[in-house]
Structure 1
Amino acid sequence: MTEVVTTTPGLFPLPDWTKDELSELKGHQKADLIDGTEGAEIQSVYDRTRGELIERQQAAGLDRVVEGQARWDDMIAHPLAVADAVETRGIVRYYDNNNFYREPVVTDDLAATGDVAAELDSAADRVDSGLQAVLPGPYSLADLATDEHYGDEQAFLGAIAEFLTAELAEFPDVETLFLLEPSLVENPPGDGADQRASEAIDHVAAATDADVVAHTYWGALEEKVYAHLMDADVDAIGFDFVANHEDNIYNINEYGTKSDVALGLVDGQNTLVEDPETIEERIEWVGEQTPSADFETVYATINTETFYLPGNRFEEKLDALGAVGKTEVEA
């Protein structure tokens, strides 16, 4: 029997009222706002938005609640985009989709900003238990950034990992940390770099007492990348079963996985809403296809960030996910 924990990888779509108020305050779209320099009125909008997003997750009955990342205009590049040692330059396509972020260019020694910690402090005031933090994984953050300071890929990845551990040191207590690592799938590291990516993830995971999930998505990991990721001391690896179930099943059966697992079973990019029974059937199907795995905890989650979704569909997916796993299921 397996405990099912319902959660999300964060980065939620903004409510319409938030977009309207931000647009009115700044005279242009939210995507043009400069993170980290907001005035009191804009900070108030984000704070009210944070409260609404948290309350909506609680109303849906999710077991883990995220801050929502409403301020993350630059998607998972956000923690770098607000750093003093980083210049944000031209607009870059976010992987292979119609979303964009400002290119973060590292020009000096990185140091913690406390930006994400401040968001979590505010969220912690609203969440009695089950708070989950979200950060980019070190490999994906390094992949999305440009280095004009450290001069070496290995040194840059190490600096990014140290930057993330310094950010973690300022976090309030959280139960779970999702490290988002889509670049491991989208731009997989080659020989040698795959081991260093795993070591960087391990370094970040060691900096927190929270349960750490290295969540990969938009496909399945190459075999060698996955085998190295298994060496990282994380509590769970996340799999995108929406984008690629066959290769993810293969990796689990061929190389094993952690005692806990995160299953991306709800589509974060499609407006079709899954019902709770379908999600539960998918959890059971994964268990049937991986007979040698004995999962203690299944994090049932949306496969990707959800900022792609219209607000009503996003909320319906939260409700469906929150209704899953209130009792133990076979997996």
Structure 2
Amino acid sequence: MNTTVVGAYPKISDEHQELRRALHKADRGELDDAGLAVAFDEATEWAIGELADVGIDVINDGQIRWDDLLAPFAKAWRNCERGPLERFYDNNTYFRQPIIKGPIETDGQTLVRDFTFADGKLRGRAHLKAAVCGPLTFATLTAEDDHYKDLETRTLAIADALAKELAGLGAAGAKIVDVEEPALAAHPELIDLERAALARLAKGGVTVALYPYFFPIDKIIEKLDVPPVGILGVDARSRETSPKAIERLGAWKGTVSLGVIDARNTRIETPRETGELVDAALKQLRDERRLILSTTTGLEYLPHDVATKKLNALVDAARAAKGVPA
């Protein structure tokens, strides 16, 4: 049974402070853009090394360069910019809301360089996937829109832009791209709009792993079985109602990435806890090949030392599911 992670990895640790020092130097004008880029590359290599060495099967690049989930796209897309700070859902973190000045345009290369760099440094130690912000999340968190007339038009335009990003990543070698879509979990009433947006992502030509995290999705699982979604992320840990989603997995025909490790809680899961969730999921899926074990969201919400313990708990859960001693 394979393992994967979702979202961003902690950018620093007690022993690894180089990126923090580089950012401080850049703020003081003591480090130019080229020097800062090197620091980001080194931090990325450190992050993917940790993820691979602990035994995670499918990793991302740690999203070390991302200021927040929306930032890479708000920075790179033409007629978009970053605006006011806002709290990111119910987390103690903040992001900058996008501002849309005109029609969104992209060459589809926003993340290609970073993906290629990470893939080269990984050297086959794990499989590398890519990730993008979900169209509904970008659209609903936009602060100002001077161009698109309503949420639907804006969401679909963003989906078209993301389809180009997926195509670019696919051409660079990405087989799977995570679409991180917390807005869908927060607003399940927008499921029809999400389905329309996902249909446009099919133009990207890659397998989409849809992660609607932070809130329960048990009431909409059966409506998400639409191309190009081949993998559905299901949080089974972080809220009291989250395990209810497992009961609905029989309606899902693809692969499930089951969030058995709570990435927003410092408590380390026990093998018994993760094992019960795995057993419950397999009763619905009836095929262990359709089950991947994952974190519920990005480990960036935890201190680095806790994050590494969470990774070990995730790997142990997968080994236990295979009948391999931890």
Q: Say yes or no: TM over 0.5.
A: yes
SS in 2 for 1:168: helix
More helix by share: 2
Structure 2 unpaired stretches of 5+: none
Higher RCO (C-alpha 8 Å, min separation 6): 1
Task: Indicate if the aligned counterparts of 1:12 and 1:70 stay in contact, CA closer than 8 A.
Answer: yes
Query: What is the DSSP-based 3-state SS (H/G/I as helix, E as strand, rest coil) of the residue aligned with 2:318?
Result: coil
Partner amino acid, structure 1, of 2:189: P
* Structure-to-structure mapping, 1:269-280, within 5 angstroms: 269-275=264-270, 278-280=273-275
2:80 aligned partner: 86
1:251 maps to amino acid: R
Amino acid in structure 2 at the alignment position of 1:61: G
The percentage of counterpart residues that share the same residue type is: 24
Q: 1:8 is matched with which residue?
A: 5
How far does the alpha carbon of each residue in 1:147-185 deviate from its partner, in whole angstroms, 9 at most, with x for none? 221222222111101110111222111232211111111
Aligned match of 1:307: 300
1:225-236 equivalences in 2 (<5 Å): 225-236=220-231
Aligned partner of 2:150 in structure 1 is: 152
Q: 1:215 offset after TM fit, Å?
A: 1.3
Superposition deviation, residue 309 in structure 1? 0.5
Equivalent-residue separation in structure 1 for 2:71 and 2:81 (angstroms): 12
User: Considering only aligned residues, what root-mean-square deviation do their CA atoms show, in Å?
Assistant: 2.3
SS across alignment from 2:103:
coil
Give a deviation string over 1:90-145, Cα, whole Å, max 9, x none: 10111122111111111122122522111101111122251111112222221222
Matches within 5 A, 1:282-293: 282-288=277-283, 290=284, 293=286
* Residue 173 of structure 2 is aligned to residue 163 of structure 1: no
Question: How many residues get paired?
Answer: 309
- Residue 122 of structure 1 corresponds to 117
1:322 aligned partner: 315
1:108 lines up with 2:102 in the alignment: yes
Report what 2:49 is aligned to.
Answer: 55
Which residue identity does 2:314 align to in structure 1? L
Cα 1:187–1:78 shift into 2, 3 Å: farther
Indicate the residue corresponding to 1:219 in structure 2: 215
Match of 1:35? none
Cα distance, 1:258 vs. partner? 2.3
What residue is the counterpart of 2:26 in the other structure? 25
Does structure 2 conserve the Cα–Cα contact (< 8 Å) formed by 1:259 and 1:296?
no
Query: Is the CA contact (8 Å cut-off) linking 1:5 and 1:297 kept in structure 2?
Result: no
Alignment partner, residue 177 of structure 2? 177
CA distance in 1 between counterparts of 2:222 and 2:253 reads 12
Match of 1:138 among 135, 142, 154: 135
1:328, distance to aligned residue in structure 2 (A): 6.1
Structure 1 gap segments, 5+ residues each: 29-37
Higher mean Cα deviation, 200-209 or 66-75? 200-209
Q: Within 1, Cα distance between the matches of 2:316 and 2:202?
A: 30
- Cα-to-partner distance string for 1:21-77 (whole Å, 9 max, x where unaligned): 31233149xxxxxxxxx7001101100000000110111111112111111112245
Alpha-carbon distance change, 236 to 258 in structure 1, aligned in 2, over 3 angstroms: farther
Q: Residues 44 and 55 (structure 1 numbering): CA distance in 2 closer, same or farther, change over 3 Å?
A: same
Q: Distance in 2 between matches of 1:13 and 1:228?
A: 33
1:200 CA drift (Å): 1.0
What are the Cα deviations for residues 209-233 of structure 1, in whole angstroms up to 9, with x where unaligned? Answer: 3x3211121222262x434322344
Q: 1:249 aligns with which of 246, 251, 259?
A: 246
**In structure 2, what is the Cα distance between the partners aligned to 1:278 and 1:301?**
14
TM-score, length basis structure 2: 0.86
Aligned residue for 1:189, secondary structure, equals: helix
C-alpha distance in 2 between matches for 1:183 and 1:81: 20
What residue number does 2:188 align with?
188
Provide the rounded CA distance (Å) in 1 between the counterparts of 2:11 and 2:97: 22
Which letter does structure 1 place at the counterpart of 2:211?
H
Q: 1:199 to 1:94 in 2, by over 3 A?
A: same
**Using a 3 Å threshold, how does the CA distance of structure 1 residues 19 and 241 change in structure 2: closer, same or farther?**
same
Sort the Cα spacing of 1:27 and 1:271 in 2 relative to 1 into closer, same or farther, 3 A.
farther
Paired letter, 2:93: N
Contact residue 241 and residue 263 of structure 1 kept, 8 A: yes
